[in-house]
């Protein structure tokens, strides 16, 4: 990679994964043929990963809870077997911090919101974990990066004292407005089976052609266009993004905050540093921040947290690594086309746990 590649990635992050080569050319000032060639080269080397739609599952009737568990000695292999078998668990990673064990992403039908807690309680009852923490994700948004701080050779570089100055200024402000598009009470949109099919396709590949979607679902291209626009305007499709692999060694930082007032003067600080990440919301006073940081950046970031600490009711700081996504499980597999409902059968999950525990004894 060189500076041109970095500039193209920065433009792609800002414009979204479905932007055209011509739009990227205008944004970067590089000829369209140069942009096209470099995009393809980054895809071939897997620096640039396929674009997909950012979907708002809760607006579709599907909730998500991050469950952080403190595991007991020797339980990790048993738990991972369970994660692989329980269809509601689609993603997990090893984690260290206040809780040492796993961070588990659990999907559930919003008609059965107790599933994540029930699973954690059963893991605890079986002696696999000693403690757990739940963060119920109601909304989220992508936090854009400032790619002028990304060197193609050295990676990200930033003087965190600049962030500290911004924090001090923000804490003295009187604003009550949070710089976010997150909604604490997202409404559920009515869907048909074709809507779910289109969403699944865009979730997997945002660049899929509408003519292909029309043929797949027996619709006209006009019908497909109308459906996509409806999903976008309702916020079910929150946008489109292209993922790219880090060009420098970073650690996954996950921060879960419960904030005393003034909430805005705390949360707005996490939009002012240059690093890519995401902001996740449970309620107005409970927030999460996810980002990747080089190890050398930790002191500067933590010193910023020190400035905000007097306003934090609680802070769960976790470092995640060794991410595992179950390739056999797709979030949209939980949707039953016959009943037109999301199905997360807790009785099946409890039976799986029981069987694996019997095998491990």
3-state helix/strand/coil string of 266-315: HHHHHHCCCCCEEEEEEECCEEEEEEEECHHHHHHHHHHHHHHHHHEEEE
Domain-terminating residue out of 233, 260, 294: 233
Question: Across residues 47-63, what is the average pLDDT?
Answer: 90
Question: How far is 51 from 1, CA to CA, in rounded Å?
Answer: 19
Whether 297 maps to a domain, the answer reads no
**Same domain, yes or no, for 70 and 127?**
yes
**Same domain, yes or no, for 91 and 125?**
yes
> Cβ(59)–Cβ(65) under 8 Å?
no
Question: How far is 219 from 213, CA to CA, in rounded Å?
Answer: 8
Mean pLDDT score across all residues of the chain: 93
pLDDT of 330: 83
> Cβ(90)–Cβ(150) under 8 Å?
no
Whether 313 maps to a domain, the answer reads no
CATH number (domain holding residue 74): 3.30.70.920
Q: How many CB atoms lie within 10 A of CB 269?
A: 23
Whether 287 maps to a domain, the answer reads no
Question: Across residues 34-49, what is the average pLDDT?
Answer: 90
**Same domain, yes or no, for 76 and 34?**
no
Domain-terminating residue out of 184, 213, 233: 233
Decide if pLDDT at 247 tops 80.
Answer: no
Whether 331 maps to a domain, the answer reads yes
Question: Across residues 151-172, what is the average pLDDT?
Answer: 93
**Same domain, yes or no, for 90 and 123?**
yes
pLDDT of 241: 85
Q: What is the pLDDT of residues 88-134, one digit of tens each?
A: 999 999 999 999 999 999 999 999 999 999 999 999 999 999 999 99
Whether 71 maps to a domain, the answer reads yes
Whether 312 maps to a domain, the answer reads no
Whole-model pTM over 0.85: yes
CATH number (domain holding residue 222): 1.10.10
Q: How many CB atoms lie within 10 A of CB 46?
A: 10
Q: How many CB atoms lie within 10 A of CB 173?
A: 11
Domains in the chain: how many in total?
3
Q: Which range of residues forms the domain containing residue 111? A: 57-137+324-360
Q: What is the pLDDT of residues 192-227, one digit of tens each?
A: 889 999 999 999 999 899 999 999 999 999 999 999
Whether 307 maps to a domain, the answer reads no
**Same domain, yes or no, for 22 and 73?**
no
**Same domain, yes or no, for 16 and 85?**
no
Q: Identify the weakest region by mean pLDDT among 63-67, 152-156, 270-274.
A: 152-156
**Same domain, yes or no, for 10 and 81?**
no
Whether 172 maps to a domain, the answer reads no
């Amino acid at each position: 990679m060189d500076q041109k590649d970095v500039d193209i990635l920065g433009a792609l992050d800002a414009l979204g994964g479905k932007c055209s080569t011509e739009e990227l050319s205008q944004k970067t000032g590089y000829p369209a043929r140069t942009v096209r060639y470099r995009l393809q080269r980054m895809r071939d080397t897997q620096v640039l990963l396929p674009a997909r739609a950012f979907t708002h599952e809760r607006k579709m009737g599907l909730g998500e809870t991050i469950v952080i568990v403190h595991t007991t000695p020797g339980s990790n292999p048993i738990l991972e077997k369970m994660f692989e078998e329980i269809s509601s668990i689609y993603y997990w990673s090893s984690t260290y911090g206040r809780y040492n064990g796993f961070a588990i992403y659990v999907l559930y039908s919003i008609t059965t919101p107790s599933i994540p807690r029930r699973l954690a309680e059963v893991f605890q009852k079986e002696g696999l974990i000693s403690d757990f923490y739940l963060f119920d994700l109601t909304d989220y948004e992508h936090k854009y990066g400032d790619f002028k701080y990304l060197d193609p050779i050295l990676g990200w570089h930033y003087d965190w004292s600049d962030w500290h100055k911004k924090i001090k200024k923000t804490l003295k402000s009187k604003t009550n407005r949070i710089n976010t598009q997150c909604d604490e009470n997202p409404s559920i949109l009515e869907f048909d089976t074709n809507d779910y099919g289109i969403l699944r396709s865009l979730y997997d590949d945002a660049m899929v052609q509408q003519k292909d979607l029309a043929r797949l679902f027996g619709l006209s291209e006009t019908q497909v266009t109308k459906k996509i626009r409806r999903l976008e305007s309702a916020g079910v499709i929150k946008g489109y993004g292209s993922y790219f692999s880090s060009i420098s060694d970073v650690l996954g930082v996950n921060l879960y905050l419960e904030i005393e007032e003034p909430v805005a003067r705390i949360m707005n600080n996490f939009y002012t540093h240059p690093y890519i990440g995401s902001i996740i919301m449970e309620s107005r006073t409970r927030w999460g921040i996810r980002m990747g940081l080089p190890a050398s950046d930790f002191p500067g970031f933590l010193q910023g947290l020190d400035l905000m600490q007097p306003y934090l009711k609680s802070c769960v700081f976790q470092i995640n690594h060794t991410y595992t996504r179950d390739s056999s499980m797709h979030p949209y597999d939980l949707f039953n086309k016959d009943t037109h409902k999301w199905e997360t059968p807790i009785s099946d999950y409890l039976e799986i746990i029981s069987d694996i525990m019997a095998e491990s004894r």
